Amino acid sequence: MTIDKKLGDVIVEMQRAAHKNARDPQGLTLVAVSKTHPIEVLREYEAAAQQRGLRVVFGENYLQEIKAKKSLLLPTSEIHMIGPLQSNKVRDAVALCDVIQSVHSLKILGLIAKEAARIGKRQRIFLQVNIGEDAAKSGFLEREMDEVLAAVEVETGALQLEGLMTILPYDDDPEKSRLHYRRLTQLRHSLELRGLTRMFHKGWVLLSMGMSNDFGVAIEEGADLVRVGTALFGERD
């Protein structure tokens, strides 16, 4: 099956999930998780997405891959860092990535702000939330959000806070993800009620959640961005 056909199937599922909750599918962003895939595959996706009038956004995990691919992609294609970010990789991440979704600690947050200020960039970021309080996952806990948002507010000149991101353990049953995604949406609502969305770009909290196995459920529960790899590109070697 071609990437264009797979993309068409993903779009149909995104539209179905959006319409189920009376949402506009045009407000959703598909992040094509392209880690480990060669540049030829990314270019094929770019062509298919452009043909369908889609904004092209790639999700990558490894900065070495981003370095190798970035100059070979269309200038209009965005790269989102979605993998774990180490302190010694922050400089490259800020230089190379349009968005860093995996901001998982105050230390990393501060380093990103410092580097963005150094090069005169306002770095777009998401805060990674460990919504399931899984010891195997990185991210902020819900009870830490006030402290984290206070830290962001100090750095608004260097950081543009877009939203919240979460990663759940893989499960064959997408319904097992639903309560966690609903909980992240409830966290967004709580921030709205408490007037804390002022730290987010245009006062709106985008939610990045859902992957190939459960992105339909994620959209039904409020996702604005879904990170889809296998459903677009097949299994990785």
The domain locations on the chain are 3-233
Q: Work out the average pLDDT over 22-51.
A: 97
Residue 171 confidence (pLDDT) = 80
Q: What is the pTM of this model?
A: 0.96
Residues composing the chain = 237
Name the amino acid, one letter, at 197. Answer: T
For residues 155 and 176, give the distance between their C-alpha atoms in angstroms, rounded to a whole number. Answer: 36
CA 5 to chain centre: 23
Give the C-alpha separation, 143 to 129, whole Å.
10
Q: Would you state the structure tokens that stand for residue 55, as one six-digit string?
A: 């904004």
Instruction: Specify the CATH architecture of the domain 3-233.
Output: Alpha-Beta Barrel (3.20)
Q: Which tens digits make up the pLDDT trace of 172-231?
A: 899 999 999 999 999 999 999 999 999 999 999 999 999 999 999 999 999 999 999 999
Across 37-103, the runs of DSSP E, i.e. the strands, are: 57-60, 78-81, 99-103
Residue 80 has pLDDT above 90, yes or no: yes
* Average pLDDT value for the chain: 96
